[in-house]
Structure 1
Amino acid sequence: MCASYGLDPRFTDSDDLLDSAEQAVLDALRTWADRNAGETVRPTGRNLRNLNPILLDDAGSTAVEPAWWGFLVDGQPARFPSINTRSERLQERPGSLRSRALVPATGWYELKKPERVWHEFGLDGGGLFGMAAVTQRGRTDDGEWYTCYSIVMRPAPAHLVGIHDRMPVLIPTAFAQDWLRAQGDRELIDEALLAAASLDERVVAVPRADDKGTDRLF
């Protein structure tokens, strides 16, 4: 599953995230990434407010909102795994697709076992891309409400499965608006998986010499 991911402020204004993305969206992402330079995104701990940018539909426009990775239940981080959601589960229970987001990133990190070597995955060229996510509202024990998100995961393609057997559902530009705005049903997740497969040949992975994404996450 997606152990960690990052957003490098040096990303280029490519078309891999949104078609003709508004400059304000890109500027907001760069501002967040600049403030967190050199750090990967981590699941928010009980005593942290590690909010990360996601893209949401706002009455037909794309909005950037800081959000909490993983679900909050009764004022606390969920006791069940919630930073990732299997695409198969959404196919079985499409009701969870009612509220969705795109998670902007330039790479994600997985541990190859049994060697315990971390690998960074991304699109060729190092461009900005969007990962599919489902969202819901949640509050912390001090009463603050947040949008919470869970990254949608799918089986990895053949050339990556030797490193890790799952990967995020990457949403290509042509399907981004559908993911954010279409009706949430079984057909939507099926179409998202087909669209994501069109990017498979562009996904590359490289081993990392540092401990990016390691046990510090939890």
Structure 2
Amino acid sequence: MCGRFVVSQQADDLTEVFEAEDDFPDWRPNYSLAPTDTIPIVRERADRETGAFVRRLEPAVWNFHPSFMKESKRPQFNSRIETVATNGLWKGAFAQGRCIVPMRGYYEWTGEPGKKRAHYLHGERELLAAAGISTARRLDDGSWQVSASIITREARDASGEIHERMPVYLPLDEVERYLDPAKLDAGGMQAMVDFLLEASDRVAPTIREYEVDRRVNSHRAIDPHDPTLIEPLPAD
């Protein structure tokens, strides 16, 4: 987890919920976001002209790639909460590159290869706020690319019945603390980890799951903008 997720909201809906400016006008709802896809994130960064911190909805590649990291054949799309504050790959971004990854829900699979059953996990509301980390690097053409990873934790309740890991979800009314752009020292990072665990403990019991059509198993063979991908299978 988490290897595929859903964002069904329009950009206007996301900017309203998170009180953010829209820097992702081309965003379209997507029901099958996979690693290396461009996803919407919410983060606070200093404005280049005024220096004031501004919260924005912006695009990021779902494959965490800091400037010091060489090219990797394996996408880095999840960060474990157990090591996000101490692992050299993640801790710099956790200290000052925190972001929220909005999602409606995510997929997990059970069963044997070739016969895997697809499950859709979601919250009580249509929007979940997953804790993430972000970074930026300059590409060969001189442009900047933002990339991100979703923080995961030991699964609880419905998610634990399907997979041992789940995203770290925050209550929507508590994202303010996580998005604070202030750089954290070692003690501050540990305090933030403790906060994430406590806050996500309150969201985890609200996660529910149902089985969906196995056509979602093949990311390349489906239309990611098809909302029927998250429709539950009919009862037998």
TM-score, with structure 1 as normaliser: 0.77
- How has the CA–CA distance of structure 1 residues 143 and 24 changed in structure 2, closer, same or farther, with 3 Å as cutoff? closer
In structure 2, the partner of 1:47 is none
1:7 aligns with 2:1: no
- The CA distance in 2 between the partners of 1:62 and 1:137, in whole Å, is 16
What letter corresponds to residue 133 of structure 1 in structure 2?
Answer: G
- The CA distance in 2 between the partners of 1:54 and 1:31, in whole Å, is 13
Farther off after superposition, 88-97 or 179-188: 88-97
1:87 aligns with 2:81: yes
What letter corresponds to residue 195 of structure 1 in structure 2?
Answer: A
In structure 2, the partner of 1:32 is 27
The answer to whether the 8 A contact 1:71-1:138 is kept is no
- The CA distance in 2 between the partners of 1:163 and 1:118, in whole Å, is 10
Q: Which runs of 5+ in 2 are unaligned?
A: 46-51, 222-236
- How has the CA–CA distance of structure 1 residues 146 and 203 changed in structure 2, closer, same or farther, with 3 Å as cutoff? same
- How has the CA–CA distance of structure 1 residues 92 and 24 changed in structure 2, closer, same or farther, with 3 Å as cutoff? closer
How many residue pairs were aligned? 203
Return the offset for 1:200. Answer: 1.5
RMSD (Å) for aligned C-alpha atoms: 3.2
Return the offset for 1:42. Answer: 1.9
1:107 aligns with 2:101: no
In structure 2, the partner of 1:135 is 134
1:64 aligns with 2:63: no
Return the offset for 1:61. Answer: 3.6
- How has the CA–CA distance of structure 1 residues 159 and 120 changed in structure 2, closer, same or farther, with 3 Å as cutoff? closer
- The CA distance in 2 between the partners of 1:77 and 1:71, in whole Å, is 11
- The CA distance in 2 between the partners of 1:55 and 1:121, in whole Å, is 22
Farther off after superposition, 178-187 or 190-199: 178-187
The answer to whether the 8 A contact 1:103-1:133 is kept is yes
Return the offset for 1:212. Answer: 2.2
1:187 aligns with 2:185: no
Q: 2:94 aligns with which of 94, 97, 101?
A: 97
- The CA distance in 2 between the partners of 1:192 and 1:171, in whole Å, is 7
- The CA distance in 1 between the partners of 2:16 and 2:12, in whole Å, is 14
The answer to whether the 8 A contact 1:123-1:204 is kept is yes
Return the offset for 1:77. Answer: 5.1
Farther off after superposition, 181-190 or 69-78: 69-78
What letter corresponds to residue 32 of structure 2 in structure 1?
Answer: T
The answer to whether the 8 A contact 2:157-2:205 is kept is no
User: Which of the pair has the greater relative contact order for Cα pairs under 8 Å at 6+ separation?
Assistant: 1
Q: Which runs of 5+ in 1 are unaligned?
A: 45-49
- The CA distance in 1 between the partners of 2:17 and 2:199, in whole Å, is 19
- The CA distance in 1 between the partners of 2:12 and 2:56, in whole Å, is 19
Percent identity over the alignment? 26
1:41 aligns with 2:33: yes
